[in-house]
Amino acid sequence: MILVTGGTGFLGSELIKQLTDSGLAVRALKRKTSVIPTFIQNNFLIDWIEADINEPATLEDAFVGITKVFHCAAFVSLNPKDKKKLFHVNIDGTSNIVNLCIENGCRLLHVSSVAALGLAKKGQQITEKDFWEYDSKAFAYGLSKYESEMEVWRGITEGLDAVIVNPSIIIGKNAGFEGSGAIFKLIKGGFPYYTNGASGFVDVEDVAKAMLLLMESPVSGERYIISSDNFHYKDLFAAIAAGFGVKPPIKEAKPWMLGLAWRALKFFSIFSSGEPSITKDTANSSLSLSYYSNEKIINATGIQFKPVAQSIQEITQYLK
């Protein structure tokens, strides 16, 4: 049987949909406070289990009869003050999953991130051969994903049958205006600025598809970047604006402007209960030119990625 952690999340729920659409039964983990997305509610092929990846005692029953595990559960934040929680969930939680997979003889597919691959190299695409040069001062989310991936590599040295995927920025209509969907909300509202950065983007349906193909493949002890296209933010914002029929951002947000913005928002957040919309990490990330190669996953699976421009059209039409 198949186990999916983070089953109510953006990626986990899409993965479950594709598994059950193929007629496969799935056991999925959810926390007590989690809300099951409407498009996978009332699905008789899903066995929901309330458990916490940071509480091994709650996981033991979930692993009974399991042969394959998709580890999608993670905490995502680019706010430095969330460092403790990021490490607890992403590193300690992954360690627990790895240990249980070893104990139960399960094959594991771990969802890491391109954030674990290292810094961009000028004029070069980042590949699976790139490993992050450890930096304790690096942004907390990237550090937590790097360390969680190290837990999987540790398991592999102990005999774990595992494969790792490193998705770029995942987009899709079911994100709504949360997570990566916040970009769409921003542009739809007429945000006038763009940054001179770039990154890889990929549709959530393709990430889940690639994961299914890799789980059924004979490969083990490998990692794969899952990314469709590399987009400059200016072009991405323009495509989203066109999809919504609004004016595209035309003003470049300079590094000094972002520096002032995150410092000011951090200061004002001290006097309010809200979180700053821009942090030092998000500002730095938006200025980075990061290009990712998808050659390895295409060669391994033959997957044909949906163009990001098509994904943007589908998402904006849905969110209208």
| Residue 14 CA neighbour count, 13 Å, CB half | 19
> Please, which residues bridge with residue 223 across strands?
164
CA distance 68 to 70: 7
CA distance 267 to 303: 46
| Per-residue pLDDT, 120 | 67
What mean pLDDT comes out for the span 289-294? 91
CA distance 167 to 276: 26
Give the chain's mean pLDDT: 87
CA distance 257 to 194: 12
Q: Which residue has the higher pLDDT, 183 or 133?
A: 183
Residue in 144, 198, 174, 186 with CA at minimum distance from that of residue 278 = 186
Contact 106, 68 (CB under 8 A): yes
CA distance 121 to 88: 30
Domain 2-168+201-227 is found in CATH 3.40.190.10: no
Tokens describing residue 160: 């774990």
Q: 274 falls in which pLDDT band (50, 70, 90)?
A: low
The gap from C-alpha 127 to its chain's centroid, in whole angstroms, comes to 17
Torsion of CA 89, 90, 95, 101, to 10 degrees: 100
Lowest mean pLDDT among 97-101, 171-175, 287-291: 287-291
| Per-residue pLDDT, 260 | 42
Lowest mean pLDDT among 65-79, 123-137, 276-290, 302-316: 276-290
Looking up tokens 């709650």 gives 58
Going from N- to C-terminal start, the domains of the chain cover 2-168+201-227
What confidence tens digit (pLDDT) does each residue in 149-191 have?
Answer: 999 999 999 999 999 999 999 999 999 888 888 889 888 988 8
- pTM, two decimal places: 0.90
DSSP 8-state code for residue 91: I
| Per-residue pLDDT, 137 | 59
Lowest mean pLDDT among 20-29, 152-161, 284-293: 284-293
Lowest mean pLDDT among 22-36, 53-67, 181-195, 234-248: 181-195
| Per-residue pLDDT, 261 | 43
What single string gives the DSSP state of each residue in 300-314? HH---PPPHHHHHHH
CA distance 74 to 158: 23
| Per-residue pLDDT, 258 | 44
Residue in 161, 113, 163 with CA at minimum distance from that of residue 139 = 113
What mean pLDDT comes out for the span 292-315? 96
